[in-house]
Structure 1
């Protein structure tokens, strides 16, 4: 997309501001130009109103699905045969499903967050983005045929349910149990899940459960497709969190919930490894959305200080104001450049290689996105002054984004855990490659 209009500084990434790009190609530009007006009409025109009202009207998801946008939330590359079997051959653009890559995915996440708010967009895509990929990757043919047609076309909704009241980033210690019935035909699920996005309106959850003995840790975890809406033994209630309220954060109670054993994903006890493959996509999507939110906060403040006068001159004439904008802007554009680089790397690597080589860096990218958002949100609130502390008026968007900062720094792996994980993964990769080099050198000796 190109424009002849002057843009408020920091309001768009460089490639959408008429600057050359070595990364985004014609297919990406067509895709972006197609989805922006769609999302503006379906989502962004009313995003602030809906977030303030704390919920999204049900018809919005139906319109979103009818526009063919649901598969765009999935990780690239897409399962082309699966989508074509459902009659889905193209995405907006028109983009053939074969063409969709990680850069298309970054564009989609960026455009979904263009209101600056994570809640409205998350209310539509979090479930399919993170709850459906494990079914595609690890589900049996029977499971795929049973669930995916409805999920991928929007007839039913799914979510991912891992976190528990006493097990957030510490996934290996979840306590929700799934024990087989006496006849061996069902898992009987008991436990609680907390902070589950989209669950309140989801028909099923891809759920982490403990099939192993208590204390078995990661080795005792499995993934199970558990029914939610209206199912016996399932009770759900909305949780009112500080930000992203419209995304439907939910508390789930499960009491003797019967799930057919055939709805197990993959092998019993392999759930932890399956969950780990899902995190990279989740963390990248969070990082992209957070960076767009940071962009909205900072550019809104920039626009404000250009017009606002104090002490006899526009705020932009104050050196301290320019200094704050400069510091936050440098972090913002550095983060976006890293995202572009990261997504490009994904387009050049096999998925299993990327998951191994980039896992730690994905965690670091996500953690850094939260830090950048915090800096930009803080800057925006300070520059808006009292308006940035008020839930109405010109600074309302800055106040709303500021409340969403913890929603980036905590979910998807809390910031401190991500920083530690990144370094541990880098050390693990280094040691593994060093051993391989030593072995290779040993084989070369006479």
Structure 2
């Protein structure tokens, strides 16, 4: 469908400017139109104001929960059986829950990020998106019955708690311990978690703990009570950007947790964490690509009207040069993201984990690099206004401040770049060994 008014260059992905796309069908387009109206009214129109106040009002979470607009933060396909059991049969735009795929998810993430700020949408979705999936994948039926109804309907909140002061990207060295009581009915949790998004208002955490010896084989995942739980102390951390995301330090002093809260098997935590990371990193890549788009389009709109040296800035070759270089990076990243989520929609979870695991890390790392370039260009083109926390360049300044919140969380950029290549090499060697075995069998 052709646009009804002129579109600022780089302000929308190509498929939303009226250009054809091989990826998006009528269901995706219907979904995008429906959720843009809802998200604009209930989030985007107020995001900068709330981010300045450093808090998204609690009623916003409730509004999204009641409209089942937290559910789309989950990885596709959705937990259809559970949702229907809870009375959720379709989402906005008439999209059936069984119809929802990774392209619907990417559209949702893109629209939630359309303010250019990561904090306001993150305050609503991070816990659902990353804390709930391990319960869906690895929780026993009894554990799911206890937690999922409240979490899926937004009556309770959860976070994912992996990172510690001395174990960020180096997950295998987590120190928080879970020791069984002599009666064998409880774990006692001792340690701390740091830089935990959404932690401060979460009722529970899907938490990585050490139940065994050193290294990855000693890690497990537990659902740990937070708000109001004895032995739990939480405080918000002041970070450079995404302040409304509720970044939290959690101190755990002999916190008693029933053994029934164990997710899957003891010692399998590292494997569970790594499969969960793929969704987290792709979410960051999609959201960061939109943030980069907002930064660049905001600067583009500014230079069309701002005059210097007797003419609009857009008439200066150096300005056009900066826009073109950043724009090329942005649209290349967008094309990769579109291709990536299409592949996610077509592959099974097991296939995607193997074939796209390393590339997910690379897409996430590249999204941060592109966001950095686009935000930096925006600040430079705004000049003094881009270095000021209020006024015309306020949004560009704030997006630039958030760039490190893209490049560090979910796996720090350098670690992601290295992980991507190691995973690709691992896949290559596995394919080589398989072909050699096949050849030997034929002989």
TM-score scaled by structure 1? 0.99
Partner deviation per Cα, 1:342-397 (whole Å, 9 max, x = no partner): 01111111110111110000000000000000000000000000000001011000
The whole-number CA distance in structure 2 between the counterparts of 1:167 and 1:70 is 29
Q: 1:237-276, aligned counterparts within 5 Å?
A: 237-276=235-274
Query: 2:125 — aligned with what?
Result: 125
Number of corresponding residues: 443
- The equivalent position to 1:282 in structure 2, one of 276, 280, 283, is 280
The whole-number CA distance in structure 2 between the counterparts of 1:353 and 1:2 is 37
The whole-number CA distance in structure 2 between the counterparts of 1:420 and 1:28 is 34
Partner deviation per Cα, 1:237-291 (whole Å, 9 max, x = no partner): 0000000000000000000100000000000110010001101100000001000
Partner deviation per Cα, 1:214-233 (whole Å, 9 max, x = no partner): xx210000000000001100
Query: 1:46 — aligned with what?
Result: 46
Q: Any idea what SS the aligned residue of 1:96 has?
A: coil
The whole-number CA distance in structure 1 between the counterparts of 2:249 and 2:175 is 15
Partner deviation per Cα, 1:312-360 (whole Å, 9 max, x = no partner): 0000000000000000000000000000000111111111011111000
Partner deviation per Cα, 1:90-137 (whole Å, 9 max, x = no partner): 111110011100100100100000000000000000000000000000
The whole-number CA distance in structure 2 between the counterparts of 1:271 and 1:198 is 21
The whole-number CA distance in structure 1 between the counterparts of 2:38 and 2:2 is 17
Query: 1:369 — aligned with what?
Result: 367
Q: 1:167-178, aligned counterparts within 5 Å?
A: 167-178=167-178
The whole-number CA distance in structure 1 between the counterparts of 2:371 and 2:353 is 25
Q: Any idea what SS the aligned residue of 1:59 has?
A: helix
Query: 1:22 — aligned with what?
Result: 22
Q: Does 1:340 align with 2:370?
A: no
Q: Does 1:190 align with 2:157?
A: no
Query: 1:3 — aligned with what?
Result: 3
Q: Any idea what SS the aligned residue of 1:90 has?
A: coil
Q: Any idea what SS the aligned residue of 2:224 has?
A: strand
More displaced stretch, 383-392 vs 87-96: 87-96
The whole-number CA distance in structure 2 between the counterparts of 1:94 and 1:229 is 36
Q: Any idea what SS the aligned residue of 2:223 has?
A: strand
Q: 1:3 Cα deviation (Å)?
A: 2.3
Query: CA-atom RMSD, angstroms?
Result: 0.6
Q: From the superposition, tell whether residues 271 and 57 of structure 1 become closer, same or farther in structure 2 (CA, over 3 Å).
A: same
Q: 1:355-394, aligned counterparts within 5 Å?
A: 355-394=353-392
The whole-number CA distance in structure 1 between the counterparts of 2:346 and 2:226 is 39
Query: 1:154 — aligned with what?
Result: 154
More displaced stretch, 160-169 vs 91-100: 91-100
Query: 2:428 — aligned with what?
Result: 430
- The equivalent position to 1:442 in structure 2, one of 433, 440, 443, is 440
The whole-number CA distance in structure 1 between the counterparts of 2:163 and 2:46 is 30
Query: 2:83 — aligned with what?
Result: 83
- The equivalent position to 1:321 in structure 2, one of 319, 322, 327, is 319
Provide runs of 4+ in structure 1 moved above 3 Å. none
Query: 2:207 — aligned with what?
Result: 207
Query: 1:227 — aligned with what?
Result: 225
Partner deviation per Cα, 1:4-23 (whole Å, 9 max, x = no partner): 11000000000000101111
The whole-number CA distance in structure 2 between the counterparts of 1:67 and 1:84 is 15
Q: Any idea what SS the aligned residue of 2:193 has?
A: strand
Q: Does 1:417 align with 2:421?
A: no
The whole-number CA distance in structure 2 between the counterparts of 1:31 and 1:68 is 13
Partner deviation per Cα, 1:202-224 (whole Å, 9 max, x = no partner): 000000000003xx210000000
Q: 1:2 Cα deviation (Å)?
A: 5.0
- The equivalent position to 1:306 in structure 2, one of 304, 307, 315, is 304
